[in-house]
Amino acid sequence: MLSMKSVKEKPTYTIAVTGLNAIDSPGPGVPVIRALRDATSFNVRIIGLSYESLEPGIYMHDLVDKVYQVPYPAAGTQVMYERFEYINNIENIDFLFPNFDAELFNFIKLEERLKKELNIHMLIPTMEQFEARNKTNLYEYGKKHGIKVPFAKMIYAAHEIPPLVAEFGFPLVIKGKFYDAKIAYTAEQAMQHFNKISAQWGLPIIIQEFIHGTEVNVCGVSDGKGKLMGAVPMRKLYITDKGKAWAGVTISDKKLIDMTQKLVKETKWNGPFELEVMKTADDEYYLIEINPRFPAWCYLPVGAGQNQVESTVNLVMKNNPVYFTKYEVGKMFIRYSYDLIVNMNEFEQISTFGEL
Amino acid sequence: MKLKKDLAISDSGFLFNPSSGDSFSLNPIGVEIFKLLQKGESDDAIITLLLNDYAVDKNTIDKDLNDFKIMLTNHKLINA
């Protein structure tokens, strides 16, 4: 006898991803794409978005279906919108993963327009959330939400350092507004770091209390309604001279997960994030930084049983998103670099036409 | 003295602390002592068991056990 069973077909989404670079501080684009390729609840066509012609993700044809160059964030939202309009006319993008802190401002500004006019969806923090977790505001942010953050002050001139030394003692941390952090053990070092970082990243500079301990990080995603969709804590096992993880392991840390849950509930964080946390010898947790996007190690949670990238897409596309509560402890990632061999005509194509 | 309860050790002597991500390599006697500590055996019981199995005097075992426990404490494998 003939029988028929209704089988729901998997949807196919066209997903655009930035952050295809992979220097020793790699972008999260390639790991986000790997997670998307591993998704079991949908099929995917990947559109890579690059800023420069030497971003390796451009040439990874087994991961990326088509690549378009996009203008630098400094070009402004209108130029960016017009480029997306062009790309969308060809590709019909369903979802977009911005993976750089520096581009998020523009994407937050464009979010409604991209959604309404081009039907491109994202899951990103609101402007208020994005600004509040900014390094320059983090101390106040922690105070507001009952989370410990190292004491910090913003300064605009080197002569403001000596009075702070009396307040903080040594060592202390000198941080750039967007990037870079150095530890100073003497007043001379503090001045040097101030000059170097301010020359590269501008003012203000953040002077922060140094917390002794072990750095632990959390990769997570939240639904914007105060509920955590997934969170995996990781301890770095091997770091580069820039402090980036080159190997890491998932750890069991209930206190850290509780802190993450509290933060998400309090702030109603929307979208992916990475928490950088310092755990002291007395088991105190200090929030060092919130990155408003998936980190470059976001494929480790996939290996540990949480495809947070897949859930992010499913939440927005209303495709039965999974809210993860478990993950495998003791799962490791070990990063490596790999020399792609690329034909000059491909480099020519992306450099000249902005598409590959 | 109580070991942290979620520590995992393999027969080869690989010890993993899931709350810190630290891992260690223990020699066969280290594994034996660790497993006895995990079972909650007292120092006296451990010393008696080791005296039966190895040609060694009580003072040496006493000292080695003490050193081993100091190492466990330093690596935060003991409940505070």
CATH for A67:
3.40.50.20
Pick B18's closest partner by Cβ from A237, A248, A251. A251
Q: Is residue B14 part of a domain?
A: yes
Residues A107, A166 within the same domain: no
Digit-by-digit pLDDT tens for chain A (356 residues) are 566 666 678 999 999 999 999 887 889 999 999 999 999 999 999 999 999 999 999 999 999 999 999 999 989 999 999 999 999 999 999 999 999 888 999 999 999 999 999 999 999 999 999 988 888 788 888 888 889 999 888 889 888 888 887 777 888 889 887 778 888 998 888 889 999 998 888 888 988 888 888 999 999 999 999 999 999 999 999 988 877 889 999 999 999 999 999 999 999 999 999 999 999 988 899 999 999 999 999 999 999 999 999 999 999 999 999 999 999 999 999 999 889 999 999 999 999 999 99
Q: Is residue B50 part of a domain?
A: yes
Rounded-to-integer distance, Cα A43 and Cα B52, Å: 64
Q: Is residue B79 part of a domain?
A: no
Residue B11, pLDDT above cutoff 80: yes
Domain of residue B14, residue span = 8-74
Pick B19's closest partner by Cβ from A234, A237, A251. A251
Mean per-residue pLDDT over chain B, rounded: 92
C-beta of residue A214 within 8 angstroms of C-beta of residue B20: yes
Residues A117, A23 within the same domain: yes
Helices (H), ranges, chain A: 29-37, 77-91, 101-118, 127-132, 138-145, 161-168, 187-201, 254-267, 299-303, 308-316, 344-353
Two structure tokens written together for A313: 């897409």
Flag whether residue A164 sits within 8 Å of chain B, measured between CB atoms. no
- Which chain A residues have a beta carbon less than 8 Å from that of B16? 330
Looking at the 3D structure of chain A, how many domains does it have? Answer: 2
Nearest chain B residue to A249, by CA: B21
- pLDDT given at position A285: 94
Residues B29-61 have pLDDT tens digits of: 999 999 999 999 999 999 999 999 999 999 999
Task: Tell me the shortest Cα–Cα distance from B6 to chain A, in angstroms.
Answer: 9
Task: Tell me the shortest Cα–Cα distance from B19 to chain A, in angstroms.
Answer: 5
Two structure tokens written together for B9: 């050790």
Rounded-to-integer distance, Cα A285 and Cα A276, Å: 10
Contact flag A237-B21 (C-beta cutoff 8 Å): yes
Two structure tokens written together for A148: 């410990």
Domain of residue A51, residue span = 12-122+339-353
Q: Is residue B52 part of a domain?
A: yes
Flag whether residue A280 sits within 8 Å of chain B, measured between CB atoms. no
Task: Tell me the shortest Cα–Cα distance from B23 to chain A, in angstroms.
Answer: 10
- pLDDT given at position B31: 94
Task: Tell me the shortest Cα–Cα distance from A253 to chain B, in angstroms.
Answer: 6
- Which chain B residues have a beta carbon less than 8 Å from that of A239? none
Residues A22, A92 within the same domain: yes
Contact flag A330-B19 (C-beta cutoff 8 Å): no
- pLDDT given at position A329: 96
- Which chain A residues have a beta carbon less than 8 Å from that of B5? none
Residues A92-125 have pLDDT tens digits of: 999 999 998 889 999 999 999 999 999 999 999 9
Asked which of A209, A234, A253 is the last residue of a domain, the reply is: A209
CATH for A203:
3.30.1490.20
Q: Is residue B37 part of a domain?
A: yes
Q: Is residue A221 part of a domain?
A: no
Residues A111, A156 within the same domain: no
Asked which of A174, A189, A209 is the last residue of a domain, the reply is: A209
Nearest chain B residue to A253, by CA: B19
Flag whether residue A73 sits within 8 Å of chain B, measured between CB atoms. no
Rounded-to-integer distance, Cα A263 and Cα A270, Å: 12
Q: Is residue B13 part of a domain?
A: yes
Distances in whole angstroms, Cα of residue B58 to Cα of each of A9, A16, A167, A212, B65: 71, 69, 55, 41, 10
Flag whether residue A235 sits within 8 Å of chain B, measured between CB atoms. yes
Contact flag B18-A235 (C-beta cutoff 8 Å): no
Distances in whole angstroms, Cα of residue A54 to Cα of each of A50, A88, A353: 9, 23, 14
Looking at the 3D structure of chain B, how many domains does it have? Answer: 1
- Three-class SS of B9-26: ECCCCEEECCCCCCEEEC
